[in-house]
A and B are shown apart, each in its own frame.
Chain A
Amino acid sequence: MSNDVADGAAAVDGAVLRTVLVNGIAASFEAPPATVLTEVLREELGLTGTKVGCSAGDCGACTVMIDRAAVCACMVPVGRLAGTSITTVEGLTGDELGERLQASFLRHAAAQCGFCTPGVLMAARALLGTNRQPTRQQVMDGLGGVLCRCTGYQAIIAAVLDVDAADPVTVRPTSGKAVGASIERVDGRVKVAGTDVFGDDDAPDDALVIHVIRSPFARAAFTFCDLESFVSENDGITAVLTARDVPGVNRFGVIAPLADQPVFAEHETRFAGEAVAAVVVLPGFDFSSIEFPVVWAALNPLTSPALALHPAAELVHTDRPANVLVEGFVQTGDVDAVMPSCAAVASAEFDSPFVEHAYIEPEAGWAEVIDGLVVIHVTTQSAYMDRASMAEILGVAEHRVRIVPTAVGGGFGGKLDLSVQPFLALAALRTGQPVRITYSRAESMASTTKRHPSKLSVSIGADSNGRVTAMSFEGVFDTGAYASWGPTVANRVPIHASGPYFIPNYRAHSTAVHTNGPPSGAFRGFGVPQAAIAQETLFDELAGRLGIDRLEFRILNALTAGQRTVTGHVLEGGVGIRDCLEALRGPWADALTRAQSLNRANDRRHRSGIGVAGIWYGCGNTSLSNPSTIKVGVRSDGSVVLHQGAIDIGQGSNTVISQIVADAIGIEVHRVLLRSADTSITPDAGKTSASRQTYVSGMAAYLAGVSLRAKLLAMLDASFDSEFVFDAGVLRCHSDGVARSVDLRRLPVDADGFVVVAVESYDPPTTALDHNGQGTPYAVFGYGAQLIELSVDTATGRVQLHRVVAAYDVGKAINPQLVVGQIEGGIAQGIGLALLEEYLPGRTNNLHDYLIPTIGDVPPIETIIVETHDPVGPYGAKGVGEHSLIPTAPAILNAIHHACGIRIRSVPATPTKVLAAILKRGAA
């Protein structure tokens, strides 16, 4: 018999010394045989390229090869490894095919956040090992086990198919030509190498580990038993933290006046997954079998806004009457007078569920205290907001907290709120030692924010010529237990619910209602995706009733420059919705013909249909200041260093901001050295949200670049349009036939190491909205439209997507390849919203019950970039991050109706719902 001892040498405390072959090198470690391979690779062998996304085989981020076959390392007990050979992403270096794959991934921008990239690469490498020239379908089959939440998979497929590119081209624009060039992501190489450092990747070996104790009930009272003996009686437990241990204010929130979320609940929890305590343990201590001394008393929760709005309902927060957090309102013209006289009116009610961000990287980080400074390394979208909140919680000045963002493995709005930061800071301060925490997938899903569930009641009327004349919108949003970004959703939705159309008579009202659900917060689109479902599907109904082609109906009503938006804002230029819709005319006609011929050819069970939807989206905060500051300087050796704090969560701000600043200065972009976000180094570039970084931080970068250029040329006494070069430590130019130079090495050096520096800020010119929601809420809007082709299996209710054509007005594509990546990724999330995703608190805290799109669920996507120059943005650019997601769901629902005549008004349109609607229609 072979027991613990037989596998290797002697048993050490149940662990056995094992030797396995990893990337061709014999590696030794001690571990019990049931230890999972991911833990050994990451913690014992330091091979952190292999990521952990779910620990259940659902996401594939941990894919490695064992004897050339792809497996999920999270499900491999090390006891089975004897005699095998393991290859991880680190082993691709030096492997000819592996390096070709990595290069192809870089060329195709197949890595965005980079967190799933090692798993994708290993699955692809295993596939190519057995099938050197796979077809598109074979690539999709081979990579079907790795979830990517950023890319929409199209770039990944292209990269694998193009692995043998004969003559790959590297884009290296010359000075002044970076804007508009699809340069390789500046942070791409570490992502394909698996060496980028994410939240769980670089905690010190001796860091203590934090476990959070969370409420199993949506609402519960609780009491702790003897916590002091709990600590003293368990050798591995160093400390317990509860609300009493919060030195400052036990409240946080992204909108300071409404901050309401405790780090630790005080007497009662308000949602399932809320923290009540944290336990700090020694590294390696097995906490899973420890019973924490808390007694719960479940209370009756409010599980829906309908219950919460009932006059007799208890209050989730005693200071918020009727459980209403906030309301939003926009009104113009006279809806009540005009609606009754409309030639056609379409009205309906819509609803949508909680949706989970499902970034593949769970929340993680580590912290230490250095000379009284609390340093928090964390995956986050908002370093400076984190710092401000942490200072409040700790009761210290902001300069006593430093946030060092790690690489962020996807965010999509879910990493804008605090998650692990308070636990890390409190534990580091209490113990005086480095501490770390990584959420499990279940913990991440239970405790962090969601997309707001919505219940919408909408009417839209048009005249007999097809002009939309009136719209009313009433929306109730389930904002969950805490405020989070609920006010942002409530305020943004009434402005956007008109869609990118001219509607002279308009009234939109929204209410954010507290329940005992998880806090609803920011999620790509801030409520606009839900509203667009209502408006865009009702537009189809109106077009149908008026006998107008659905695309032409939208073109007819498209907002144009000089028209008033529903907030009375007259956009002078850069209104590209009509351009986007018109760009779809050709594809629309082709798709219509294709659907008709397929429906003639198909059996009656499979019906083809096409749909279209348009969107607009304001970039930046709604009517609020949201400045960005960018610093760029020259060191004495002539190198140019960009301090850019716009956190790159995969969308590409590191690259785009570099491109803008390079052109503004007038140097080659490859000369720009990057310092990414760190509150002790980079100035505040605001949060990565609201599609604001390319526009707002991009403007700050442009201004800083221009300012630096002006300073350099002033030093040379040359005119602003002169060309200059850095010749090692000497700045030189020829201007007016005169050779001029400045020796940078003789100039004084500042604290950042700069001899010349420019710091510039930019804040979008917006105005407050009046009581009717009238004003200038955003300085820049982006526009887009999507066309979907699909078929419905009317016997099973399964919807199969065949093709998406997306036309987006981005003003100016700073990096076209990254723009396409944003669009493809947004569409994939829109597909999830439309067809798959419904988060049920307590029931779907994993990625096999909560289903996000796989590589098989995203069809080929064709992107048409429309560049309607924006008068405000940098080089005319607008944002696109959120715009990309919004039209997908309504376009799909419209196509489903076109295919088989049913109207789904409750997403997701699962086979179960689609079939029920088909059967109901058949029976009617």
Chain B
Amino acid sequence: MTVVTATSLDEALDALAGDPSAQLLAGGTDFMVEVSFAHRRPASIVTLRRVDELKGWWRDGDTLVLGAGMTYTELQAEPFLDVVPGLAQAARTVGSPQIRNAGTIGGNIATGSPAGDTLPVLVALDAVIVLQSAADGERRVPWNEFFLGPKRTARRGDELVTAVRVPVVHGRQEYLKVGTRNAMVISVAGVALVMDDDAHTVRVGLGSVGPVPLRAPAAEAFADSTIDWATMTIPDGGAAQFGALVSAAASPIDDQRSTAAYRRHAVGVCARRALQRCLS
């Protein structure tokens, strides 16, 4: 096993160009488990923790650019609580303090697990994933072209997820998930809801109810047209109908954590509650 400890973005990209099959290692919360359980014996690893270009965040006009190396602990605090509250809430629900101190948003994106907690928020925000490679430089991929299947993404082996771009949206945001426990909760179903008070739109992202994080276009269209944007209210039964439309958008499976029927129901409940909270 060769390990390259990259200390700059160029070093990381060069290493990946040299060996596109290399395993990337950032927070280690997914990958080190696989190493310990000997599920994977990668021939080479590129570690990213010391790549400063992946750390931090900045504003690019109305877009927030979050470095892939940002940890959940960073994301759950200010200024993100104000600027992207849905993402901060999602980060707050990841694992435990120990996991949040180590795990990164770039890892969540690149791993592409359907249960990844930040992903519903990113898809609701119409996030754009920023990839870089030594050969082609920067490539920006919209979320819906990036997540291809369970733990399958559009990232090429020689590419690195360097950042994620999300718009700064004026309006309430919520992330709600259902799991079985009250701490270290693994999402059985999750919903991110983003209200755009300027554009008068609602966008909703769904987690753990499909092979990839999903949107619920019919539910969004229903909400856009049903909400009274002047008073920020929805007629009686509107939130429930929104929830039902979100349920209909889900395509969940049975596994040891729950059933497809439960996930479909629960994602609708989360959506209804998220909307009610945003309108309260």
Residues of A within 8 A of B (CB): 1-4, 6-7, 14, 32-34, 36, 55-58, 60, 63, 69-72, 74-77, 79-80, 82, 123, 126-127, 140-142, 144-146, 288-289, 440, 442, 795-798, 800, 835-836, 840, 843-844, 848-849, 851, 853-857, 910-912, 915-916, 919
Contact = CB atoms under 8 A, between A and B. Distances in A.
A601 to B, nearest CB: 17
Nearest to A66: B101
A32 B35 CA distance: 13
Given A1-B15, A57-B29, A145-B184, A70 B37 contact: no
Contacts of A848: 184, 186
B246 to A, nearest CB: 13
24 contacts: A1-B4, A4-B5, A33-B3, A55-B33, A60-B98, A70-B101, A75-B27, A75-B102, A77-B3, A77-B28, A77-B47, A80-B5, A80-B49, A144-B184, A796-B269, A836-B180, A851-B181, A854-B184, A856-B183, A857-B183, A910-B180, A911-B188, A912-B262, A915-B262
Contacts of A795: 269, 273
Contacts of B182: 800, 854, 856-857
A36 B73 CA distance: 22
Max count, chain B CB within 10 A of own CB: residue among A1, A56, A70, A76: A1
Contacts of B53: none
B100 to A, nearest CB: 9
Nearest to B269: A795
| Interface residue SS majority, chain B | mixed
A70 B28 contact: no
A916 B37 CA distance: 35
Contacts of B261: 916
A14 B49 CA distance: 21
A12 to B, nearest CB: 14
Interface in B23-64: 25, 27-29, 32-33, 35-38, 41, 45, 47, 49-50
Contacts of B99: 57, 72, 145
A144 B266 contact: no
B75 to A, nearest CB: 14
Interface residues of B, number: 52
B135 interface: no
B97 A141 contact: yes
B29 A60 contact: no
A288 B14 CA distance: 30
Interface stretch (B157-165, B217-225, B251-259): B251-259
**The 10 A-B residue pairs with the shortest CB-CB distance in the complex, in nearest-first order:** A145-B96, A856-B182, A144-B183, A856-B183, A854-B183, A288-B38, A55-B36, A75-B32, A33-B3, A912-B262
Nearest to B1: A34
Given A34-B45, A69-B73, A145 B95 contact: yes
B181 A857 contact: yes
B200 interface: no
B33 A57 contact: yes
Contacts of B265: 915, 919
B47 A3 contact: no
A645 B269 CA distance: 55
A421 B130 CA distance: 54
Contacts of B35: 34, 36
Given A3-B3, A75-B33, A145-B99, 13 more contacts: A1-B4, A2-B50, A3-B4, A33-B45, A56-B33, A58-B184, A72-B102, A75-B102, A79-B3, A141-B97, A146-B96, A857-B181, A911-B266
Contacts of A840: 256
B11 interface: yes
B81 to A, nearest CB: 15
B69 to A, nearest CB: 12
Nearest to A844: B256
Interface string B215-237: 00000000000000000000000
Contact of A916 (B38, B50, B95, B262): B262
Contact of B2 (A4, A6, A70): A4
B4 A2 contact: yes
A849 B265 CA distance: 21
B7 interface: yes
B178 interface: yes
Nearest to B261: A916
Contacts of B180: 835-836, 851, 910-911
A126 B262 CA distance: 37
A796 B3 contact: no
B168 interface: no
A71 B4 contact: no
Nearest to A836: B180
Contacts of B97: 70, 123, 126-127, 141-142, 144-145
A228 to B, nearest CB: 25
B181 A1 contact: no
B183 A1 contact: no
Contacts of A126: 97
A72 B270 CA distance: 31
B6 interface: yes
A3 B45 CA distance: 10
B183 A140 contact: yes
A910 B256 CA distance: 11
Nearest to A835: B180
B183 A2 contact: no
Interface string B135-157: 00000000000000000000000
Interface string B157-198: 000000000000000000000101111101010000000000
B181 A853 contact: yes
Contacts of B98: 57, 60, 63, 70-72, 123, 145
A915 B256 CA distance: 16
A32 to B, nearest CB: 7
Contact of B41 (A2, A58, A76, A289): A289
